[in-house]
Structure 1
Amino acid sequence: MFRWLGKNIGTFFLALFLAIGVWVAAVNDSDPDEVLTYPAPIQIEIVGQGTDLLITNTYSKQIELTLRAPRSIWGQLTADDDSVHAILDLSGLSAGEYLLEPQIQISTQPVRIISVSPIEVEIHLEELATRTLPVQLNLTGAPSVGYQAGDLENSVQEATISGPKSLVESVAIVQASFDLSDTRENIDERLTLEILDVENQTVTGINLTPTTTQLIIPISQQGGYRDVAVKVTISGQVANLYRLTNISVFPPVVTTYSADAQLISELPGVVETEILDISGISEDISAHLNLILPENITLIGDQTVLVQASVEAILGSLTISEKHLEVINLDPALTATLSSFTVDVIVSGPLNILETLSPTDLRVIVDVDGLGTGTHQLTPKVEILNSAIQVESILPESVEVILSEVVLATPTAQP
């Protein structure tokens, strides 16, 4: 038997290899390999990052894979979103710059990786740093004349910043800013904290705790000063057919001063302007007017106020009856017959213009451009020379227009 095996061992292995080849060919025919790009980008997973390190650069967060696998395996890969992973292992790395190859893990086999894009990912690691800085207040401007600011209260005295070491070390101050200019009321505001470098530029990419502070500053009026409202005194009537729509004054409140505290306290809460004459005006006017103040009381700041008076024409309406209709763009070969050759037109606008409006100032047309023979319902259009006049309605709203061919008279033969 051993002699038989020795003589036929080559034939045996040849038969085995042929059988395996036939089996592989059969498998490939029924489930052929396909080289395809994985249908969805693979998100890169970061592992092993030290708790004292931060990634400070913008890096590729996903990759594309080209794989070779049997058709049946491709069906499993695409059906299971969790079958393919791309791992970037930062274990044991310290601060620095690295080019790392993603580790591809595929749970469904057999699969062969043909290509990975990108093949390497650039990572910058930087130490995590933390600092605590005092919160500074940047107050600009001053309260209105006659007012003073009291002792301020700031709810946050210190703030903690954390982030990449290079950024944290570049921070010079943490501050909150507020403008006191022209303030008359107590201040109670929540302010956003700012992170600034030595050049007073904002530093971004850093965590800040807390992010806001509450600022409280009492504002009080100094002795001898008093705020009073301004009342405009007018005389006369605007032009006929016009009405006064508004009187405005700037500033509406002024600050007065007197060395006599009792005199300033007895001052009424309102001071009047010089008289503004609006007699016969038909357009807006403005004027700088003085204020009428008691003796020994002075005005702080500008010595006049700006007063503006606004007027507008009184609106009304007018009906123009039996306005003749004009047919335009009529084909010379056609004739037009209208159900009504006149309409009533109701218009509106300023009364002073309506009073002078005449029927010749408007035109009512019926446009038959492009229309052929037959009966048509058309809407008249009104053309008005004065743009201040608006058309409210046309009665009737539509007219019937019958277009027919022009009948030429047959000449009579002479004997």
Structure 2
Amino acid sequence: MASTPIRWAGRNLSTLLLAFILALVVWVSAVTAADPNQERTYQVQIEIMGQDTGIEVIGELPNQTLMTLYAPRSVLDQLTREGGAFRAWIDLSGLEPGARILPVQYQMPPDVSPVRLVEVNPESVEVTLEMLISKTVQIQTNVQGEPALGYRADNPEWSDHEVIVSGRASLVDQVDTVDADLDISGANNNIEMTLTLVPRDVDAKRVSGVTLVPDKITVTQAVTLRGGYRNMVVKVMTIGQVADGYRQTNISVSPPNVMVFSADPALIDRLPGYIETELLDLTDIVDDIETLLAINLPEGVSIIGDPNVLVQVGVATIEGSITISRNVEIIGILPELEAHASPESVEVIIYGPIPTLEILTDLDVRVVINLTGLAPGVYQLAPDVVILPGRIRLQVISPETVEVTIIEADTLTPTPSPTPEE
């Protein structure tokens, strides 16, 4: 009898095994339905690790990789919430300069399962490494141009004579010279300025991507007069006065300085600090003038360049202001209407050239109110001031508004004359 259960189990083993498998399938189906497997792609930042300080990466490496995972939805949701659970990097440790293909290495959280990595994109990247080097180069100083006529340039003084060029070996090797360019064209004073150094190759083309220490230098360039030459201020000589009611606003000369020369340097040294023009007559002028004037030169002295200078004189009227009284003129009223202004006259302050103010007539300045389109009634209106002379301007009108009463003409009842007594 004890062997009966064993014999029963033996006879029904296949049935029991099938029942277990069916139960397992039902359990897996239930779990999968509640938490289905999905694919999801994550963006992971790529780190650069192990880069030697004397090595530079040429070009741009991808800054992120895409990792596609297959896992239950709950696991994927957990990874999404944790955010930085993934790591991806490119290892440059111990690598020599040159080009190579390196794998993108990655790490997933060890405590998250079940999860399967489907794809990493990119799986590898091409990396080119180049050595960083430095070299010392003599600064090549270039002085260009000539100083102004009558001046000479002495040897310049430079703050530095060498520069350290640093960067990628392929770029540093291209640097043939480091130039400092100083332009003294037309200079008539000492020059002290800071110049930016420029690295150039053997074809004199600028080399970009290298670092210069220092990247700027200071230069001092002495510029002095030659013997027998002198730079002198031009003084315009005038006689007479502008017309009454006008004033002189300015006087200018171009060029303001001229270079003079004498074979006798002592004669040049005895001259005052200026040189005079011929006389310019300003008597009774009423407008701006522009004219060429010759320069009066002492005997034995000559001028370098044009012996004439351009002189410009500005003339303007003297302005003032006056107060005048004007009756208010009504315009634009319909024939069947009448209008009355209160007050009937206003004070007007105008300003402008005194000669014009002195000859104004009543017709030159009028005060007008336009009633076009207005119906009978009482209005507060601002009058217009009409000024004919173009250079006269309105300053103030007082009062600024006028009361205007508009009535129908036939409503005016004449006042009866008194009956004479017998």
TM-score by length of 2: 0.74
| Alignment of structure 1 residues 13-412 onto 2, 5 Å | 13-27=21-35, 45-57=47-59, 70=73, 77=80, 82=84, 87=89, 92=95, 94-96=97-99, 126-326=130-330, 338-362=341-365, 364-366=367-369, 377-400=380-403
**Deviation of 1:212 (Å):** 0.5
Q: What residue in structure 2 maps to residue 413 of structure 1? A: none
Seen in structure 2, the aligned counterparts of structure 1 residues 389 and 119 have a Cα distance that, compared at 3 Å, is farther
Give 1:153 shift.
1.1
Q: Give the residue type in structure 2 aligned to 1:159.
A: V
Is the CA contact (8 Å cut-off) linking 2:330 and 2:339 kept in structure 1?
A: no
CA displacement at 1:285 relative to structure 2: 1.9
Q: Distance in 2 between matches of 1:256 and 1:50?
A: 67
Number of matched residues? 399
Q: Displacement, 1:234?
A: 0.6
| Contact 2:242/2:286 (8 A) holds in 1 | yes
Counterparts of 1:155 and 1:343 in 2: how far apart (Å)? Answer: 76
**d(CA) in 1 for partners of 2:98, 2:371:** 84
Checking the alignment, whether the CA contact within 8 Å between 1:373 and 1:403 is kept in structure 2 is: yes
Offset of residue 155 of structure 1: 1.2
Structure 1 range deviating more: 194-203 or 221-230: 194-203
CA contact (8 A) 2:331 2:372 kept: no
**Residue-by-residue CA offset, 1:216-270 (whole Å, 9 max, x unaligned):** 1222223223333222111111233221111112232333332333322222222
Give the 3 Å change call, closer, same or farther, for CA 264–338 of structure 1 in structure 2: same
Is 1:86–1:102's contact at 8 Å kept on the other side of the alignment? yes
Q: CA deviation at 1:318?
A: 3.2
C-alpha contact 1:53 1:95 (8 A) present in aligned 2: no
Q: 2 CA distance for matches of 1:338 and 1:13?
A: 115
For structure 2, list consecutive stretches of 5 or more residues without a partner in the other structure. 412-422
Offset at residue 103 of structure 1 (A): 6.0
Change (3 A) 1:123 1:303: farther
Q: CA shift at 1:62, angstroms?
A: 6.2
Quickly say closer, same or farther: Cα 1:135–1:78, change in 2 above 3 A: farther
Residue in 1 that maps onto 2:414: none
Residue range with higher mean Cα deviation, 344-353 or 204-213: 344-353
SS in structure 2 of the partner of residue 324 of structure 1: strand
- 1:213 Cα offset (Å): 0.5
Distance in 1, matches of 2:345 and 2:39, equals 83
Q: 1:359, 1:78 → 2: CA distance?
A: 90
Report the AA paired with residue 354 of structure 1: L
Letter in 2 for 1:274: E
Q: Is the 8 A contact 1:323 1:345 kept in 2?
A: no
| Structure 1 residues 266 and 50: CA distance shift in structure 2, 3 A | same
Deviation for aligned residue 1:290: 2.4
Please state how far the C-alpha of 1:380 moved relative to its aligned partner: 3.5
Report how far residue 118 of structure 1 moved: 8.5
Asked whether the 8 Å contact 2:380–2:402 carries over to 1, the reply is yes
SS class of match (1:296): coil
Counterpart Cα distance in 1 of 2:314 and 2:80: 77
Which letter does structure 1 place at the counterpart of 2:352? G
Q: Rg larger in 1 or in 2?
A: 2
Q: Which amino acid aligns with 2:212?
A: L
Question: Residue 204 and residue 321 in structure 1: after superposition, are their counterparts in 2 closer, same or farther (change >3 A)?
Answer: farther
- CA shift for structure 1 position 275: 0.7
Please list every run of 5 or more consecutive structure 1 residues that lacks an aligned counterpart in the other structure. 410-415
C-alpha displacement at 1:95, in angstroms? 3.5
- Aligned equivalents of 1:72, 1:378: Cα separation in 2: 83
Residue 420 of structure 2 is matched in structure 1 by none
CA distance in structure 2 between the aligned counterparts of 1:381 and 1:63, rounded to whole angstroms: 78
Letter in 2 for 1:152: P
CA distance in 2, matches of 1:208, 1:263: 52
1:54 Cα deviation after fit: 3.6
Moved more, 368-377 or 160-169: 368-377
Counterpart of 1:10 (choices 9, 12, 18) is 18
Moved more, 319-328 or 238-247: 319-328
Q: Is the 8 A contact 1:37 1:66 kept in 2?
A: yes
Contact kept in structure 1, 2:148 and 2:186, CA below 8 Å: yes
- Give the fraction of aligned pairs with identical amino acids, expressed as a percent: 38
Shift of 1:207: 2.0
Taking a change above 3 Å as real, the CA distance of residues 58 and 343 of structure 1, as seen in their structure-2 partners, is farther
Q: When the two structures are superposed, what TM-score results if normalisation uses the length of structure 1?
A: 0.75
Equivalents in 1 of 2:66, 2:238: separation in Å? Answer: 80
2:18 aligned partner, one-letter code: G
Cα distance change on mapping 1:25 and 1:133 into 2, 3 Å: same
Alpha-carbon distance between aligned partners in 1 of 2:45 and 2:309, rounded to the nearest angstrom: 67
Verify the 8 A CA contact 2:39 2:68 in the aligned structure 1.
no
